[in-house]
Structure 1
Amino acid sequence: MDGNRIKTFDLNALWRAVALVGFLLAIVLALPGHGNAQQGLAPKAVQSEAPTGGAVPGEALGLTSDTDYWRAVRSGVQGNVSIPDKKAGTLIQSEGEAWRSIRNGPLSLYASWALLGTIVLLGLFYAIRGRIRIEHGPSDKTITRFKAVERFGHWMLAVSFIILGLTGLNVLYGRYVLKPLIGDGAFGFITQVGKYLHNYLAFAFMAGLVMIFVMWVKHNLPDRTDVKWLLQAGGLFSKNLHPPAKKFNAGQKLIFWSVIIGGFSLSLSGWALMFPFTTHFFAGTFGKINMLFGTELPTVLSVLQEQQLNQLWHTVMAIFMVCVILAHIYIGSLGMEGAFDAMGTGEVDLNWAKEHHSLWVEEHQGDIHQGSGDRGTPQPAE
Structure 2
Amino acid sequence: MKTLYPLFVLLALALAPVPAVAQDGHVDPSVTEQGPGRTAQTLEDILARQRGEAVDDSTRKALIGHPEDAAPMSSPLGTRGGASDPDLWRGLRYDEADVTTLQRGPAATTLIQDNGMWWLEFRHGPLITYGSWLLLGTIGLLAVFYLIRGRVRIDGPKTGRKIERFKFIERMGHWLLAGSFLILGITGLITLMGRKFLIPAFGHDAFSTMAIGAKWIHDNVSWAFMLGLVIIFVMWVVHNIPDRTDIKWFLKGGGLFGGGGHPDAKKFNAGQKIIFWSVILLGASISISGLSLLFPFELHLFGPTFAHLNDWGVPQMLGYGPLPTDLPPQAEMQYSQLWHAIVAFVLMAVILAHIYIGTVGMEGAFDAMGSGMVEEQWAKEHHNLWVAEVKERESAAHKSATPAE
- Taking structure 1 as the reference length, what is the TM-score of the superposition? 0.76
What is the match of residue 100 of structure 1? 120
What is the match of residue 201 of structure 1? 221
SS at match of 1:300: coil
SS at match of 1:348: strand
2:351 alignment partner AA? I
The 2-side partners of 1:97 and 1:165 are apart by 25
SS at match of 2:359: coil
What is the match of residue 302 of structure 2? 282
SS at match of 2:108: helix
Identity of aligned residues (%): 50
The 2-side partners of 1:58 and 1:177 are apart by 45
Question: How much does 1:84 deviate?
Answer: 3.4
What is the match of residue 291 of structure 1? 311
What is the match of residue 210 of structure 2? 190
Question: How much does 1:185 deviate?
Answer: 4.0
Task: Please tell me whether residue 241 in structure 1 is matched to residue 261 in structure 2.
Answer: yes
What is the match of residue 362 of structure 1? 388
Check the 8 A contact 2:30/2:37 in 1, yes or no: no
SS at match of 1:84: coil
Higher relative contact order (CA 8 A, sep 6+): 1
1:276 alignment partner AA? P
Question: How much does 1:75 deviate?
Answer: 8.1
What is the match of residue 327 of structure 1? 353
Q: 1:68 aligns with which of 31, 51, 57?
A: 57
The 2-side partners of 1:301 and 1:62 are apart by 28
Check the 8 A contact 1:78/1:303 in 2, yes or no: no
Question: How much does 1:337 deviate?
Answer: 0.4
What is the match of residue 216 of structure 1? 236
SS at match of 2:361: coil
Q: CA RMSD in A?
A: 3.3
Q: CA offsets per residue over residues 8-39 of structure 1, 9 Å max, x none?
A: xxxxxxxxxxxxxxxxxxxxxxxx99x96866
Distance 1:215 1:37, change over 3 A: closer
Distance 1:332 1:76, change over 3 A: farther
Aligned counterparts, 1:74-223, within 5 A: 84-223=104-243
SS at match of 2:57: helix
1:259 alignment partner AA? V
Distance 1:78 1:107, change over 3 A: farther
The 2-side partners of 1:57 and 1:106 are apart by 38
The 2-side partners of 1:357 and 1:134 are apart by 13
The 2-side partners of 1:173 and 1:340 are apart by 32
Distance 1:38 1:272, change over 3 A: closer
The 2-side partners of 1:264 and 1:358 are apart by 31
Check the 8 A contact 1:77/1:302 in 2, yes or no: no
Select between 92-101 and 169-178 the one with higher mean Cα deviation: 169-178
2:333 alignment partner AA? Q
SS at match of 1:333: helix
The 1-side partners of 2:277 and 2:265 are apart by 17
The 2-side partners of 1:143 and 1:225 are apart by 22
Check the 8 A contact 1:144/1:367 in 2, yes or no: no
Check the 8 A contact 2:31/2:38 in 1, yes or no: no
Q: 1:227 aligns with which of 247, 254, 267?
A: 247
Question: How much does 1:71 deviate?
Answer: 7.6
Distance 1:121 1:78, change over 3 A: farther
Check the 8 A contact 1:145/1:347 in 2, yes or no: yes
Question: How much does 1:64 deviate?
Answer: 5.4
Q: 1:344 aligns with which of 362, 367, 370?
A: 370
1:86 alignment partner AA? P
- Segments of structure 2 that go 5 or more residues without pairing to the other structure are 1-17, 40-55, 63-89, 316-321, 395-400
The 1-side partners of 2:380 and 2:99 are apart by 65
Q: CA offsets per residue over residues 166-213 of structure 1, 9 Å max, x none?
A: 011111223343444444444332322221110100000000000001
The 2-side partners of 1:257 and 1:36 are apart by 68
Q: CA offsets per residue over residues 262-315 of structure 1, 9 Å max, x none?
A: 000100111111122322111111222233345332222111111100111011
Check the 8 A contact 1:135/1:240 in 2, yes or no: no
Q: CA offsets per residue over residues 209-244 of structure 1, 9 Å max, x none?
A: 000011111111110011111111101112452110
SS at match of 1:362: helix
The 2-side partners of 1:107 and 1:275 are apart by 23
Question: How much does 1:139 deviate?
Answer: 2.0
The 2-side partners of 1:191 and 1:256 are apart by 31
Distance 1:90 1:235, change over 3 A: same
SS at match of 1:86: coil
Check the 8 A contact 2:306/2:324 in 1, yes or no: yes
What is the match of residue 328 of structure 2? 302
Check the 8 A contact 2:168/2:372 in 1, yes or no: yes
What is the match of residue 7 of structure 1? none
Check the 8 A contact 1:76/1:302 in 2, yes or no: no
